[in-house]
Amino acid sequence: MNVLEALQKRKSVRAFLDKYVEKDTIKTILENAKCAPSGVNMQPWTVCVVSGDKKKDIETKVIEAFESGNKAKMDYHYYPPQWDEPYKSRRKETGLLMYQTLGIDREDKEKQIAQWKANYRAFDASVVLYFFIDSALEKGSYLDYGMFLQSIMLAATDLGLGSCPQAALAEFPAIVKKELDIGEDKVLLCGIALGYEDTSAPINNYRTERILLEEFVSFYDS
């Protein structure tokens, strides 16, 4: 598989098989992803690879917090406080398409909540990667981190694994940090669910559209 093929094949997998991922495979992914560029070679990433009982402990505590009505509060603002166009429409279309794929009626709040809680289980992937960054770092390092995260997902695709980048896994940072013994000087950026895709699951047929090149690219050549 070449890079262009991996870019086209990668997708957000939301249903995984109960299948163990070898530690050596995860190391191979991270060993290659660390080649991602970063300003003045800062390499601002801290990664916690979580599976087994520790994964279950974290997701149980997070779901308990969610069900008890505790407000999710990320270490930073991922989304804008107010949704304007065209982002408002894209967000709405994405949500509607996902629920249509799952056969969940827009009025069925119980099923919608159950699907949302699946986020906190990392869609039952066998592995979760949690990503932290020093709180003192600035926006440039967040750009660096994005390239690192994409590199991880492309490497996983090349090795036959599915992945899903998830802001939801960073919604209860205090719980995650306590369980992983991470200090408050770190920002929990996100998580990536990693494992083997359940190709029989309808949700994995869900694919969002990408806008045309002409809608976001301008060429200046004269």
In a domain, 132, yes or no: yes
Residue 157 has pLDDT above 90, yes or no: yes
Q: Determine the Cα–Cα distance for residues 167 and 16; give it in Å rounded to an integer.
A: 18
**Which residues are 16's β-sheet partners?**
197
Residue 38 belongs to some domain of the structure: yes
pLDDT at 153: 98
> Is the predicted pLDDT of residue 109 greater than 90, yes or no?
no
CA angle, 190 then 195 then 200, to 5°: 115
Residue 28: domain span:
13-79+122-202
Is the pLDDT assigned to residue 138 strictly greater than 90?
Answer: yes
User: Does some domain include residue 175?
Assistant: yes
pLDDT digits (tens, 9 = 90+) for 84-103: 999 999 999 988 888 888 88
Per-residue pLDDT at 195 exceeds 90: yes
CA distance 151 to 35: 8
Number of domains in the chain: 1
Q: Quote the CA–CA distance of 137 and 39 in Å, as a whole number.
A: 11
Give domain status of residue 114, yes or no. Answer: no
Q: List the CATH number of the domain containing 51.
A: 3.40.109.10
Phi/psi class of residue 61: alpha, beta or left (left: φ > 0; alpha: ψ in -120 to 50)? alpha
Domain membership of residue 111 (yes or no) is no
Per-residue pLDDT band for 158 (boundaries 50, 70, 90) equals: very high
Asked if 121 and 66 count as a contact pair (C-beta separation under 8 A), the reply is: no
Q: Tell me if 99 is assigned to some domain.
A: no
pLDDT, position 107: 80
Residue 107 domain-assigned? no
Residue type, 121: R
Mean pLDDT of the chain: 94
Q: Tell me, yes or no, whether 73 lies in a domain.
A: yes
The pTM score is 0.94
